[in-house]
Chain A
Amino acid sequence: MFKHVEYTPEGVCSQKISFDLVDGYIHHVVFTGGCAGNTKGVAILSEGRNARDVARSLKGVPCHGANSCPHQFALAIEQALAEAGE
């Protein structure tokens, strides 16, 4: 299953998170806005990884209180997996 995701995060500095899910693995993550270095780092480290593992690792990472761009990315992944029935 191929799924392209464009997610609007809430309560954080980045305005959009986009990525592709290929058979449950993460590719081509792009954060629009947010801390450039940190979000690029998250994108690079997520490339090719199991989506559920990435979500588990990033969920709850704090920055704005209990929220952060990585946490929002985790939520985006979970939503995409749920929509894909995985």
Chain B
Amino acid sequence: MLSHITKMPQLSELDIPAKQYELYLSDGLIFRGLLNAERGLEHPDGPAADGDYVLALISTEKGGETRLQAELGSRRFPELERALTGRAAGEGFTAEINGEAAQIRVEAVSRAVDLPLTDGAIAALGIPGVASLADYRRAFIRENGEARAERVFSSIKQRLLTRLAGLAEAYIEPQELARYHARQRAMINNISGDVDGRLMDAYGCGTPEECDRLFYEDNRRNFTIYLYGLALAEENGRVPSEAERMSAMQYYGIIYDLDAADISAAGLEDEAMQSFYLQYGIASVREHYFSLVRFSAEGIEPMAIGE
């Protein structure tokens, strides 16, 4: 089996740019959820200003009465917001709104009050293990870091896999690749019944033949990664569990409408396990990326995932 791979790639050769694994998290991001949860309201007596929420009763001859709460400065209701700026709760006045004379009464002015971002304010929240802004930043990274790294990995994954396939060299029997390609087409056809249409959507190409050629090249890449995954599993002594084996067989069985007994009887188990080794190869790339990831934020030392 290992003979299929004639050159085993080193994951360090993927040359992932530092900006893709040295992830800086701003305070705007880190504290957004906390500020949203802790935001309060006050009701000033004085004039309303940008950012205030002004509840107004607007009466016009054509429109009748409308009660609306406008956020000054949002530009959602530009004329009304201009008319309300500087007014106080209880004031009544007239203004032209949408070309009509309007009687306006300011019923209430509300102003958002945010938690001050200070060590004392954070400590006062009584969050276990969090007595300062730096503690909160570290706790945020611990709780959310893996998910954020996963999103970045998803966005660069295809490029990394293409590079991995380029670094690996493998002897690929044309018949094996052709069977793999046919299986991928069958899977798409099974799902949508229109494999050519799906490929044209996916690749933006003009003819079914051109699209199939591009799809074939993608499958050559995936086949190389499958062979890399197979070689890596052999190197690491990784043997699929019974549950993993059954899962791969079921996936294969769905495409060809076969059950596990049929697959075994036809000697197709190795072929059915390709999805397992492909995923094993991809998982090694993900693991490599995650080992590189470092999060930084204001005032704290860079942190690795799980730190």
Residues of A within 8 A of B (CB): 1-2, 4, 22-23, 25, 27, 44, 47-50
Q: With contacts defined as CB atoms under 8 Å apart, how many contacts are there between chain A and chain B in the complex?
A: 40
CB interface residues, B 46-74, toward A, < 8 Å: 53, 55, 67-71, 74
Given contacts A25-B55, A48-B76, contact A4 B36 (CB under 8 A): yes
- In the complex, how many angstroms separate the beta carbon of B87 from the nearest chain A beta carbon? 16
The residue that A23 contacts in the complex, of B36, B41, B68, with Cβ under 8 A, is B41
Given A22-B41, A23-B55, A44-B76, output 17 extra A-B contacts at Cβ < 8 Å: A2-B40, A2-B41, A2-B110, A4-B36, A4-B39, A22-B53, A23-B53, A23-B110, A25-B53, A27-B71, A47-B74, A47-B76, A48-B68, A48-B70, A48-B76, A48-B77, A50-B67
Q: Point out the residues of chain A lying under 8 angstroms from B172, CB to CB.
A: none
Check B108–A23 contact: CB distance below 8 A: yes
Residues of B within 8 A of A (CB): 36-37, 39-41, 53, 55, 67-71, 74, 76-77, 108, 110, 112
Q: Point out the residues of chain A lying under 8 angstroms from B76, CB to CB.
A: 44, 47-48
- The 7 A-B residue pairs with the shortest CB-CB distance, nearest first, are A4-B36, A25-B69, A2-B39, A2-B41, A48-B68, A22-B53, A48-B69
B66 closest partner in A (C-beta): A49
Kindly state the separation between the CA atoms of A49 and B68 in the bound complex, as whole angstroms. Answer: 6
- In the complex, how many angstroms separate the beta carbon of A54 from the nearest chain B beta carbon? 12
The residue that B69 contacts in the complex, of A2, A22, A44, with Cβ under 8 A, is A22
- In the complex, how many angstroms separate the beta carbon of B243 from the nearest chain A beta carbon? 30
Kindly state the separation between the CA atoms of A50 and B68 in the bound complex, as whole angstroms. Answer: 7
Kindly state the separation between the CA atoms of A50 and B39 in the bound complex, as whole angstroms. Answer: 20
- In the complex, how many angstroms separate the beta carbon of B116 from the nearest chain A beta carbon? 16
A44 closest partner in B (C-beta): B76
Kindly state the separation between the CA atoms of A27 and B70 in the bound complex, as whole angstroms. Answer: 9
Given contacts A22-B53, A23-B110, contact A1 B68 (CB under 8 A): no
What are some 20 contacts across the A-B interface (CB < 8 A)? A1-B41, A2-B39, A2-B40, A2-B110, A22-B69, A22-B71, A22-B110, A22-B112, A23-B55, A23-B69, A23-B108, A23-B110, A25-B53, A27-B69, A27-B74, A47-B76, A48-B70, A48-B71, A48-B76, A48-B77
